[in-house]
Amino acid sequence: MALLEIKNLSKSFGDLEVLRDVNISINKGEVVVIIGPSGSGKSTMLRCLNLLEQPTGGEITYQDEDIMKLGKKVTEYRKHVGMVFQRFNLFTLKTVLENVMYAPMKLNKVHKNEAMNQAMELLKKVGLENKKDVFPSSLSGGQQQRVAIARALAMSPDILLFDEPTSALDPELVGDVLEVMKQLAKEGMTMVVVTHEMGFAKEVADRVIFMDGGYVVEEDTPNNIFTSPRNERTRAFLSRIL
Ligand code: ADP
Ligand code: MG
């Protein structure tokens, strides 16, 4: 059974059709990488998955439950779906540790000591325990992104969505963030990753999905899609970025 199933998903902003008949199925423990040109609907697709955007049509089921019909249970659903953004979006007035402690305390009423212990574990995991008391602004972009990942993990999500997590980083900082993501993949975390890091996709992805013009154009193993793409548009895109 798929953990998350996207069926005939469409999304328009006014007259602009951004997603058209998108079908994607994500199994537990899978790493799915989504690639495609700017404006192809990748971010909108991810945002639909945690209902930051309301789809216009189609269905998204999470463990066989239609997430568009959750009503008040949407808050509960969102706890299971972590999101990491291109621009970190950390709380600037909280320390690194407080950033990671916040959601479990606020949303799950976890006791402060427990939240702190867990946050320290997560900061260790992303290699930043020595930065726990500083504010995000004093960190490099790569460090901030690793805090953002620790913060998302603090809610023990079933699935993590990454929207171009390394696109805003200086090149020399990309590697550390990808290392953390690779480690998570190894541990069996279910991940949907929008990225232009083809090395990461080749090494870590179970499947690669190419989107263009709001459609899923092609979906295959990284090996197949990078060495012998079937669709002309996939081929053209890859030849521009590889
Ligand atoms: P990608 O992440 O692949 O670059 P996006 O999902 O961000 O693509 O955007 C797809 C299209 O939807 C673009 O044309 C973008 O301008 C448009 N779009 C995205 N969000 C909105 C919005 N909130 N209102 C209107 N148009 C939007
Ligand atoms: Mg985007």
Q: What is the ipTM of this complex?
A: 0.98
Strand 65-66 vs strand 81-84: parallel, antiparallel, or unpaired? unpaired
What is the CATH number for 111?
Answer: 3.40.50.300
Asked whether the CA dihedral 188, 189, 192, 196 is positive or negative, the reply is negative
pLDDT of 180 > 90? The answer is: yes
Angle, helices 96-108/141-153, rounded to nearest 10 degrees: 20
Average per-residue pLDDT for the chain: 96
Rounded distance between C-alpha atoms, residue 156 and residue 232, angstroms: 40
pLDDT tens track for 92-146: 999 999 999 999 999 999 999 999 999 999 999 999 999 999 999 999 999 999 9
Regarding the beta carbon of 195 and ligand 1, being less than 6 Å apart is answered: no
CA of 111 relative to ligand 1 center, distance in Å: 39
Predicted confidence (pLDDT) per residue in 27-69, tens digit: 999 999 999 999 999 999 999 999 999 999 999 999 999 999 9
The rounded distance, in Å, linking the Cα atoms of 24 and 2 is: 10
Query: According to the model, what pLDDT value does residue 241 have?
Result: 87
Nearest to 53 by CA among 9, 19, 11, 82: 11
Amino acid at residue number 26: I
Q: Is the beta carbon of 18 within 6 A of some atom in ligand 1?
A: yes
In this prediction, residue 1 carries a pLDDT of 77
The ligand that comes nearest to the alpha carbon of residue 87 is 2
Two structure tokens written together for 160: 């993590």
Q: How many domains does the chain have?
A: 1
Domain that holds residue 48: 4-239
Place of tokens 């402060």: 112
Residue type, 125: K
CB-ligand 1 contact for 199 (6 Å cutoff): no
Instruction: Locate the DSSP E strands across 27-124.
Output: 31-35, 57-62, 65-66, 81-84
Atom of ligand 1 nearest to the CA of 194: 2
Q: Is the minimum distance from the CB of 214 to ligand 1 under 6 angstroms?
A: no
